[in-house]
Structure 1
Amino acid sequence: MIDTGLSQEKFSRRNTLAYGLLGLPLAFVALPLYVILPNHYAREFGVPLATLGAILLLARLFDALIDPLLGRLSDRLFARSARAVLIMGGLAALLLALGFALLFFPLVSAPDALLAWAGATLMLTYAGYSALSVAHQSWGARLGGNEAERSRLVAWREGLGLVGVVVASVTPVALGLPATTAIFFVALAAGWLAWTRSVPPPTKIEAALNAETKKTKVADTTNPVKPANTVDTDIWLPFRSAAFRSLLTVFMLNGIASAVPATLVLFFIQDLLQAPAALEPLFLGSYFLSAALSMPLWLALVKRLGLARTWLCGMLLAIAVFAWASQMGAGQTTAFVVICALSGIALGTDLALPGALLTGVIQANGDSGRAEGAYFGWWSFATKLNLALAAGLALPLLALFGYAPGVNTPTALNALLIAYCVLPCLLKLAAAGSLYFLVLKKPKLKPYLL
């Protein structure tokens, strides 16, 4: 098998670093976009929460809807050459950098013009971010590998991403947004250049030969191996797989559970905990740093329990931590640092394991080397839809129940507490139940978990 000779190089430390480094700037920019932006526009520009939620909802829905199309574009470019994918990634990186700068440094100040500017620059930024992310994730999936190799590759990408998030959580407060933007530009350029020097995915012929050797290893006969030298143009292809539908259901429930507190965390810190702004980097940094440090521990557990059971352990830990967070009150900053660290450890499974599971589904469906973009396009769609729902529903509902930034009435703070702690617990519980009953209890899905 041709791929076997390259396996050691593909999953070497040098190559996983070269491939995974782009995860750092992509995660670096995600924190300002999804966590800092709502708070920044509400406090700096006085945008009402309900209006802000509507803008974020529409922009993120646009972002989600284009992801499947970007996935098909990615597959077509992979069918041409790895170089075509890298060129598209470079153009997407330029679009992302431009949109980010214009979003946080608007050239207009009138209220109506500012709202239109925010919506337009958000869509511009999201388009660049999504095109680059889908292509990068598809590249990693096309490298193939067994369970341990897949999880290690994803862990490097997400672990470096967490380093980016930790830096992004500190720099806006310590250095300001202009310096943060400059650091992001440098990291993005370095990540793309490193990506261009990583081992490319197998060629069409190599992927076809690899697929042929795996035919006898796939237990699901309803998903026969297809020729790897073609690109399936059916955008709905992934949904023909029961394993993909089940995994996507779990991923979405779990993703909404994580997106809601990510949207509200700064409001929770500032108004319910009433913590000084100087402590915000400590809270965010401990969360993401703990996630990064937990990666080796979770990967070790994967070898004993498998991907799905390890992910379930992370969900249960998150439920326990958010239940504790619901008991927080003003001034309990030390306890909240511990909560951030523990929830960060749970986050490690959300980052490293679902993508590895999806790669296993693609392999078992016989779609390796031909349709990774389609799968990751819908995967990215689900991620963006989660973020859209979190902002589009949580912020207006908080406003409806009397909460606004700086309002410390008991009713407002109770609404914030329920939205930040209780709702994620319920959603995580639903995700854990879905993982257990839709995936772990289905014997037919066993090949997808290995």
Structure 2
Amino acid sequence: MNEVRVSPDGARRRYALVSFLTWLPAGLMTAPLVLLMLDRGLSIVEVGVVMTVYSLVIAALELPTGGLADVVGRRVVLVVSAACTALALTVLAVAGSMVAFIVAGSVLGVARALSSGPAEAWFVDTLHAVDGTDADLRPGLSRGHVMEDVALSIGVLAGGFIPLAVRAGAVSVPGWLDPLAAPAVLGAVAALVWLVVVLVAMPEAPRPAASMGQVLRGVPVTVAAGVRVAVRDGVLRRLVLVAAVIGMALTCVELLVPGHLAALTGSGEVGATAYALVSAIGFAAAALGSAAAPALARRLSYGTAGRGSVRGAVAGLVIAAAGLAGLAASVPVGTGGAGAVVLAAVPYLVFFAGLGAHGVLRAELAHHRVTAGERTTMASASSLSGSGGAALANLTLAPLAMGLGVGAAWWLVAVVVLAAATAFARMSVLHLSR
């Protein structure tokens, strides 16, 4: 495809659409995934193995795929990601053994690693090409993050209710397709739409022709350069460390809230339904937080110019910590019933709203510190850090919750998130941009 000059508004719209389609397949499979594997005969331990393989594939490929996108281009990497997503969800729909589910999980992990960063990097590069390196990134980044959360919210609701509609006969599907697999097929179709949109909507400047050997040699060089920047640059180092804390906080909530709601409702099935609804509203709250990020940064930019994004990112962390503290405080009074679910849901929404605002502004700060050739690698490094924080949470917070209760785990993570806010305190306004 020949290079097409994209206007700033056009770049924002295209980035928002690609962001939505990137996360819609994942949202569709969030609710039925574990139930599908259990229904096909896997034990809960085998389900855990499949999910672990998925996570390990992502962790292993985050940096190499980020470097690949910086070397060969963002669009081609996203096209491969979309194709892998469609393939993985198709295999998932028909899988009948643990081996098949591991294959599907591995391919889905490859797809997730490939999709980490290229769309955002394309948007920033495109806006810089049109408006210069001083272009305001906040509105576009905010819109893209909003659409990610909207996709997850819509996908979770659809993925939760489509199996019920299929079972009730309200939606007609082929006889070989059981209700729990229907969202996977719909997700595969959504991934193919995503692939076509990426091809049409993400023009890139032609890159120099390179042999496969040159590409393979260029990826580790790019990864190494990105890692060096992240380690040596004080601002980026803090941002990557904060990403680990965010990964820990998200995992703590996702790990412990479902069981907490099941305990409050007195039923695993009712608790699962409550969690699907709360999750969807939580993603909507994250979308509102992302949408509010530019205004929050402007309101907090008093005094020294350029400080608003730092203060806004700190405010987002403080709001998220308040949500965690609210979850912890709701445990002693959560005696059951709808009122107790609402009491737990409100701080859950506050938590995600804070993370939504923080995520946009943290991304803006990171993009001001890297060049176009390091952009996707840097995003992958941040994502990898978040995965490390999530792994640490899985290993430590579950035993803590079993021994001292879920409230203790949420109090601990609330303190850690507040402590992470101090990582922004030493970010000199004079050195926010390289």
- How far has the Cα of 1:98 moved from its partner? 1.6
Q: 1:316 offset after TM fit, Å?
A: 3.3
| 2:21 is equivalent to residue 25 of structure 1 | yes
User: Are 1:287 and 2:314 matched, yes or no?
Assistant: no
Is 1:122 equivalent to 2:105 in the alignment?
Answer: yes
Matched residues in 1 for 2:205 and 2:340: separation?
Answer: 49
Say which SS state the counterpart of residue 81 (structure 2) adopts: helix
Deviation at 1:69, TM superposition (A): 0.5
CA change 1:334–1:308 in 2 (3 A) is farther
Q: Structure 2: which amino acid aligns with 1:309?
A: R
Identical-pair percentage: 15
TM-score, with structure 1 as normaliser:
0.73
Contact map agreement 1:171 1:179 (CA 8 A) in 2: no
Aligned mates of 2:156, 2:62 — CA distance in 1 = 27
* Aligned position for 2:299: 304
SS of the equivalent of 1:370 reads: helix
* Bigger RCO (CA 8 Å, 6+ sep): 1
Match of 1:132 among 115, 120, 124: 115
After superposition, give the CA deviation of every residue in 1:89-111 in whole Å (9 maximum; x if it has no partner).
Answer: 22221111221332354232xxx
Where do residues 27-426 of structure 1 align in structure 2 (5 Å cutoff)?
A: 27-31=23-27, 37-38=33-34, 41=37, 45=41, 47-49=43-45, 52-78=47-73, 85-103=74-92, 105-108=94-97, 114=98, 116-143=99-126, 149-176=136-163, 177-198=180-201, 200=203, 232=222, 234-235=224-225, 236-237=227-228, 238-274=230-266, 276=270, 277-305=272-300, 306-313=308-315, 314-327=319-332, 329=334, 331-337=336-342, 339-354=344-359, 356-364=361-369, 367-391=370-394, 397=399, 415=402, 418-419=405-406, 421-426=407-412
Paired residues of 1:29 and 1:168 also in contact (CA < 8 A): yes
Q: Deviations over 1:206-227 (max 9, x none)?
A: xxxxxxxxxxxxxxxxxxxxxx
Letter in 2 for 1:439: F
Code of the residue aligned with 2:373 in structure 1: it is R
Is 2:428 the partner of 1:428? no
- Please give the alpha-carbon distance, in whole angstroms, between the structure 1 residues aligned to 2:386 and 2:28: 16
The 3-state SS of whatever aligns with 1:234 is helix
Any unmatched runs of 5+ in structure 2?
Answer: 164-179, 208-220, 301-307
Letter in 1 for 2:80: L
Per the TM alignment, residue 356 of structure 1 is displaced from its structure 2 partner at its CA by: 4.1
**Mapped partners of 1:18, 1:285: distance in 2:** 24
1:29, 1:152 → 2: CA distance? 25
Pick closer, same or farther for the CA change 1:59–1:166 going to 2, 3 Å: closer
Q: Which amino acid aligns with 2:43?
A: V
How many residues of Structure 1 are paired with residues of Structure 2 in the alignment?
383
Gaps of at least 5 residues in structure 1 are 1-5, 79-84, 109-113, 205-230, 399-413
1:82 aligned residue = none
Q: Counterpart of 1:133 in 2: which secondary structure?
A: coil
CA distance 1:287–1:52, shift in 2 (3 Å): same
Q: 1:159 to 1:94 in 2, by over 3 A?
A: same
